[in-house]
């Protein structure tokens, strides 16, 4: 870059000292992203309304028969899985339901990953814990993680109800028959996908509660 054009790019040369205009840009950007996120949340929930209802009805049946919910995912999706398990067990309203994440026990995660392989870290736990009445639910932004697909195959083999939340184009989760009900947040942004999955999961929980509520006489 010639010296004569340096003034056009103050930030590249590290000469920028006035944070005011950056702060204004950041605030504008935050507002736009917030609105984009809200739109994707609404679109996802609307588009998958019938999947959410069907999945919720199937889940309610399993819960009513004594089934439990197993939730899992990788990275940020693992933390979301933890949050969802807690939503079911410690709901803000309605019925507490049995749910557990497969991501929190460090001894179990490291032992399975180290000894058997990371691709089996969730499937092995389903082998140990699951019963045919149970539900397996995974979160993935790509829809393609090996350890999720291996877990879904095991879950399907064992008769579990399988539900998935994926992003981008849904990946393998959206097309694999082992995943019976799949909600996809159609966005290229991992962050926006996770936000929309959060909204869809909350809607799913609400529909499960509705499905389990006693019918008014």
Partner 1 sequence: MPTPTEVFATQDLARASLALARRFAAGGTMWCASSAWPHHAHHVAVEFVHPVIVGKRALAAVAVVPDGELAADLRGAVQSGDILLVLADADDAEAVDVLRRGTAWGTETVWLGAGTRRPPAGAADHVLWLDTDDPLAASEGFVRLYHLLWELTHVVFEHPGLLKPEPECTDEVCITCSDEGRLAEVVSVDGDEAVVRTPDGSERIDVSLIDAPGPGDLVLVHAGFAITSEVA
The verdict on 49 binding partner 1 (CB under 8 A) reads no
Bridge partners of 73, per DSSP, are: 139
Report the C-alpha gap between 125 and 204 in whole angstroms: 24
Report the C-alpha gap between 67 and 155 in whole angstroms: 13
Report the C-alpha gap between 119 and 145 in whole angstroms: 8
The verdict on 111 binding partner 1 (CB under 8 A) reads no
Residues 6+ apart with CB under 8 A from 23: none
Report the C-alpha gap between 91 and 195 in whole angstroms: 20
The verdict on 116 binding partner 1 (CB under 8 A) reads no
Residues 6+ apart with CB under 8 A from 113: 121
How many Cβ atoms are within 10 Å of 53's Cβ, its own excluded? Answer: 15
Residue whose C-alpha is closest to residue 76's, from 199, 206, 195, 205: 195
Q: Which stretch binds partner 1 (CB under 8 A): 115-123, 128-136, 177-185, 199-207?
A: 199-207
Nearest distance in Å: CB 195, partner 1:
5
- Cα-based torsion angle of the residue sequence 13, 19, 20, 23 in order, rounded to the nearest 10 degrees: 110
Q: Binding residues for partner 1, how many (CB under 8 A)?
A: 43
The verdict on 213 binding partner 1 (CB under 8 A) reads no
Nearest distance in Å: CB 210, partner 1:
10
Q: Which of residues 5-44 bind partner 1 (CB under 8 A)?
A: 10-11, 13-17, 19, 22-31, 33-34, 37-38, 41
Q: Which stretch binds partner 1 (CB under 8 A): 73-81, 128-136, 154-162, 172-180?
A: 73-81
Q: Which stretch binds partner 1 (CB under 8 A): 53-61, 62-70, 78-86, 175-183?
A: 78-86
Nearer to partner 1, 160 or 203 (CB): 203
The verdict on 147 binding partner 1 (CB under 8 A) reads no
Residues of this chain that bind partner 1 (CB under 8 A): 10-11, 13-17, 19, 22-31, 33-34, 37-38, 41, 75-76, 78-80, 82-83, 86-87, 92, 141, 190-191, 194-195, 198-199, 202-203, 206
């Amino acid at each position: 870059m010639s010296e004569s054009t340096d003034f056009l790019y103050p930030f590249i040369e590290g000469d920028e000292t006035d944070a005011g205009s950056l702060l204004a840009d950041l605030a504008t950007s935050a507002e736009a992203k917030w609105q984009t996120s809200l739109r994707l949340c609404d679109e996802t929930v609307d588009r998958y309304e019938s999947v959410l209802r069907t999945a919720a009805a199937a889940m309610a049946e399993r819960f009513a028969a004594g089934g439990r919910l197993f939730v899992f995912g990788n990275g940020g999706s693992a933390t979301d899985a933890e949050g969802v398990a807690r939503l079911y067990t410690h709901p803000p309203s309605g019925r507490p339901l049995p749910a557990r994440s497969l991501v929190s026990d460090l001894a179990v995660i490291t032992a399975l990953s180290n000894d058997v392989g990371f691709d089996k870290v969730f499937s092995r736990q389903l082998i140990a814990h699951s019963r045919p009445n149970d539900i397996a639910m995974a979160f993935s932004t790509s829809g393609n993680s090996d350890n999720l697909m291996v877990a879904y195959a095991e879950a399907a083999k064992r008769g579990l109800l399988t539900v998935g939340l994926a992003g981008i184009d849904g990946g393998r989760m959206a097309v694999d028959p082992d995943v019976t009900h799949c909600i996809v947040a159609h966005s290229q942004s991992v962050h926006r996908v996770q936000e929309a999955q959060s909204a869809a999961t909350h809607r799913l929980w609400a529909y499960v509660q509705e499905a389990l509520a006693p019918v008014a006489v």
